[in-house]
Amino acid sequence: MIILGIESTAHTFGIGIIKASQNACQILTNCKDSYSSSDIGMIPGDIAIHHKKVATDVLKRALSEAKLSWEQIDSIAYSAGPGLDPALWAGFNFAKDLANKQNKQLIPVNHCTAHLSIGKIINHAKDPVYLYVSGVNTQVIVQQGVKNKNKQGKYKILGETLDLGMGNMLDKFARTLKLGFPGGPKIEKIAKLGSFIKLPYTVKGMDVNFSGLLTKCTQLFERKQASTKDLCFSLQEHAFAMTIEIAERAMAHTQKDELILVGGVGANKRFCEMLETMCKERGATFYNVPMSLAGDQGAMIAWEGFLRKDNYPKMEVDPHWRTDEV
Ligand code: AMP
Ligand code: MG
């Protein structure tokens, strides 16, 4: 079955085309065009304008790279949420017009569960605990009823951030340091030179809290009471250890022996090294996702569309559609 997936939840407009069967996802193409701004960050209205402007061109590129005609494509899937409202509508309207024109089935999918599903299929994992750490999200997730291969079980969030996502927290501190956006990779580079200082470590049961850690780092920096490199190193060590603690507890409770890291913060080598150590110590396997599939793109939307094609909600867009509502 050939599915075309459209992603538009945030700054990326992407179209991926896959050839899918029960246990295999072959990516034929994964084209995208991302909105960027050097100083002001993401303005939702501007992002929607960007997506409308580039959509036709990205589609042309995708069809030509995949060497496919419309007759060969079975269905169209699109990201229905969560995300920025104007960006979601731009993607939905494009997908709907296309489905009407080409007479194809239109499948709404959840952006977050698409990140999880693509992580699972490319690693051939069986029944993992997912650690989803992006700009906005920091969640420990499992899927129920995985043993029934013909049914997609419900997702359950076992733990999450109670305030901001880890990526956003790193980006905020990077902004204080005047490092620009995205800040995560820049903090990672500086952290390599630093040493450990003690900072707030906030784990509440299965949840974490990042604002105390961020405030303390900001204060120490502004008062010149710690060096930038020590702060970058120690911020990472604390945030990573807190998150790994709840992920490990989820593995212990559920007795699962696979962990998949998805989301943009997964690019951080130190984070992966710490997760690898934790998994090794408990005889579990750690997986992450290659950079080409870690960020937002259309192939993961197409694969999630394949998984949901026989049972999906009647909807247009939902900016607040949570993983545990899927
Ligand atoms: P996403 O929301 O999944 O697109 O991920 C974007 C987030 O990942 C941003 O907050 C980035 O700062 C963060 N990020 C990207 N690369 C790294 C890295 N090497 N280390 C830490 N955070 C990163
Ligand atoms: Mg994403």
| Separation between Cα atoms, residue 182 and residue 189, nearest integer Å | 13
Residue 41 has pLDDT above 80, yes or no: no
Q: Which residues pair with 261 in a beta bridge?
A: 131
Tell me whether residue 37 is in a domain: yes
Q: Do 41 and 72 touch, CB atoms closer than 8 A?
A: no
Tell me whether residue 229 is in a domain: no
Instruction: Tell me, using a 6 A CB cutoff, whether residue 5 lines ligand 1.
Output: no
Residue 126 has pLDDT above 90, yes or no: yes
Instruction: Tell me, using a 6 A CB cutoff, whether residue 265 lines ligand 1.
Output: yes
- Give per-residue pLDDT as tens, 257-286: 999 999 989 999 999 999 999 999 999 999
- Please state, as a whole number, how many other Cβ atoms lie within 10 Å of the Cβ of residue 211: 15
Tell me whether residue 320 is in a domain: yes
| Separation between Cα atoms, residue 266 and residue 251, nearest integer Å | 18
**29: domain CATH number?**
3.30.420.40
Tell me whether residue 181 is in a domain: no
Residue 149 has pLDDT above 90, yes or no: no
For residue 151, how far is its CA from the centre of ligand 2 (angstroms)?
Answer: 24
Ligand 1: residue whose CA is nearest its atom 21: 184
Rounded-to-5 percentages of helix, strand, coil across the chain: 45, 20, 35
Q: Do 170 and 237 touch, CB atoms closer than 8 A?
A: no
Q: Do 15 and 297 touch, CB atoms closer than 8 A?
A: no
Residue 39 has pLDDT above 80, yes or no: no
Q: Supply 91's token pair.
A: 């993607």
Tell me whether residue 182 is in a domain: no
- Give per-residue pLDDT as tens, 214-235: 999 999 999 999 999 999 999 9
For residue 157, how far is its CA from the centre of ligand 1 (angstroms)?
Answer: 21
Tell me whether residue 238 is in a domain: no
| Separation between Cα atoms, residue 2 and residue 76, nearest integer Å | 9
Q: Do 312 and 28 touch, CB atoms closer than 8 A?
A: no
Rg of the chain in Å (alpha carbons): 20
pLDDT of residue 38: 63
Instruction: Tell me, using a 6 A CB cutoff, whether residue 295 lines ligand 1.
Output: yes
Residue range(s) defining the domain that contains residue 59: 2-160+245-325
The side-by-side arrangement of strands in the sheet containing 75-81 is 24-34, 12-21, 2-7, 75-81, 105-110
Question: Which secondary-structure segment (H or E) carries 130?
Answer: strand 129-133
Query: 């913060």: which residue's tokens?
Result: 265
pLDDT of residue 153: 81
Tell me whether residue 303 is in a domain: yes
Tell me whether residue 130 is in a domain: yes
Domain count, the chain: 1
- Prior bond of 86 cis (ω within 30°): no
For residue 296, how far is its CA from the centre of ligand 2 (angstroms)?
Answer: 5
pLDDT of residue 180: 83
